[in-house]
Amino acid sequence: MERPFNKILVANRGEIAVRVIRAAKEMGIRTVAVFSDSDKDALHTHLADERYYIGPPDPLESYLNIEKIVEAAVKTGSEAVHPGYGFLSQNPTFARRLQEEGITFIGPPPEVQEKVGHKLKARLFFSQKGIPIVPGTLKPVSIDEAYDEAERVGYPVLIKPGGGGGGIGMSVVWSENELKQAITKASELAKSAFGLGEVYIEKYIPKAKHIEVQILGDKYGTVVHLFERECSVQRRYQKVIEETPSPAISEDERKTLYKYAVKAAKESKYVNAGTFEFIFDMENRKFYFLEVNSRIQVEHPITEIVTGIDIVKEQFKIAAGGKLDIEPKRFGHAIEVRVYAEDPLENFAPSPGLIAKLREPSGPWIRVDSGIYEGYEIPPFYDPLLMKIIAWGKDREEARLRIRRALEELVIEGVRTNVPLLRGVLEHDGFIKGNYTTRFLEESGVLESVKKYMKEEDSKRATKKKEVASPQSGVTYVDVWKLSSRLFY
Q: Do residues 98 and 72 lie in contact, with contact meaning Cβ atoms separated by under 8 Å? A: no
Residues touching ligand ADP, count (CB under 6 A): 28
Residue with smaller CB distance to Mg ion, 167 or 471: 167
Reply yes or no on whether 19 is catalytic. Answer: no
Out of 141, 179, 216, 298, the residue judged to bind ligand ADP by CB under 6 A: 298
Out of 205, 241, 249, 410, the residue judged to bind ligand ADP by CB under 6 A: 205
Following DSSP, what letter does each residue of 170-215 receive, concatenated?
A: -EEE-SGGGHHHHHHHHHHHHHHHHS---EEEEE--SSEEEEEEEE
Asked whether position 438 contacts ligand ADP by CB under 6 A, the answer is yes
H/E stretch holding 314: helix 311-319
Taking contact as CB under 6 A, which single stretch among the options 26-34, 39-47, 73-81, 157-165 is the one that binds ligand ADP? Answer: 157-165
Pairwise CA distance, residues 35 & 37, whole Å: 7
Catalytic residue among 295, 338, 367, 400: 295
Taking contact as CB under 6 A, which single stretch among the options 102-110, 161-169, 351-359, 468-476 is the one that binds ligand ADP? Answer: 161-169
Out of 4, 29, 51, 86, the residue judged to bind ligand ADP by CB under 6 A: 86
Looking at residues 119 to 138 of the shown chain, list those that interact with ligand ADP (rule: CB under 6 A): 134
9 φ, ψ to 5°? Answer: -110, 140
Taking contact as CB under 6 A, which single stretch among the options 231-239, 314-322, 359-367, 462-470 is the one that binds ligand ADP? Answer: 231-239
471 binds, among ligand ADP, Mg ion, none (CB under 5 to 8 A by kind): none
Between the two ends of the chain, the Cα-to-Cα distance in Å is: 50
343 φ, ψ to 5°? Answer: -100, 110
Out of 279, 410, 419, 426, the residue judged to bind ligand ADP by CB under 6 A: 279
Long-range Cβ pairs for the range 458-464 (8 Å, 24+) = 460/411, 461/357, 461/411, 461/413, 462/357, 462/358, 462/359, 462/411, 462/413, 463/357
Asked whether position 164 contacts ligand ADP by CB under 6 A, the answer is yes
Looking at residues 355 to 384 of the shown chain, list those that interact with ligand ADP (rule: CB under 6 A): 383
DSSP state of 61: G
Pairwise CA distance, residues 296 & 333, whole Å: 20
CB of 470 to ligand ADP, least distance (A): 49
User: Residue of minimal CB distance from ligand ADP?
Assistant: 165
Residue with smaller CB distance to Mg ion, 277 or 304: 277
Looking at residues 275 to 314 of the shown chain, list those that interact with Mg ion (rule: CB under 5 A): 277
CB of 294 to ligand ADP, least distance (A): 11
Taking contact as CB under 6 A, which single stretch among the options 21-29, 182-190, 230-238, 257-265 is the one that binds ligand ADP? Answer: 230-238
CB of 105 to ligand ADP, least distance (A): 17
Asked whether position 337 contacts ligand ADP by CB under 6 A, the answer is no
Q: Give CA separation, 280 vs 121, 133, 287, 324, 344, in Å.
A: 21, 11, 4, 29, 26
377 C-beta neighbours (distance < 10 Å), count? 15
220 C-beta neighbours (distance < 10 Å), count? 11
CB of 472 to ligand ADP, least distance (A): 55
Pairwise CA distance, residues 460 & 357, whole Å: 11
65: phi > 0 → left, psi -120 to 50 → alpha, else beta; which?
beta
| Active centre residues (catalytic) | 295
Task: Tell me which residues touch ligand ADP (CB under 6 A).
Answer: 85-86, 134, 158, 164-167, 202-205, 208, 210, 234, 237-239, 277, 279, 290-291, 293, 297-299, 383, 438
Task: Tell me which residues touch Mg ion (CB under 5 A).
Answer: 277
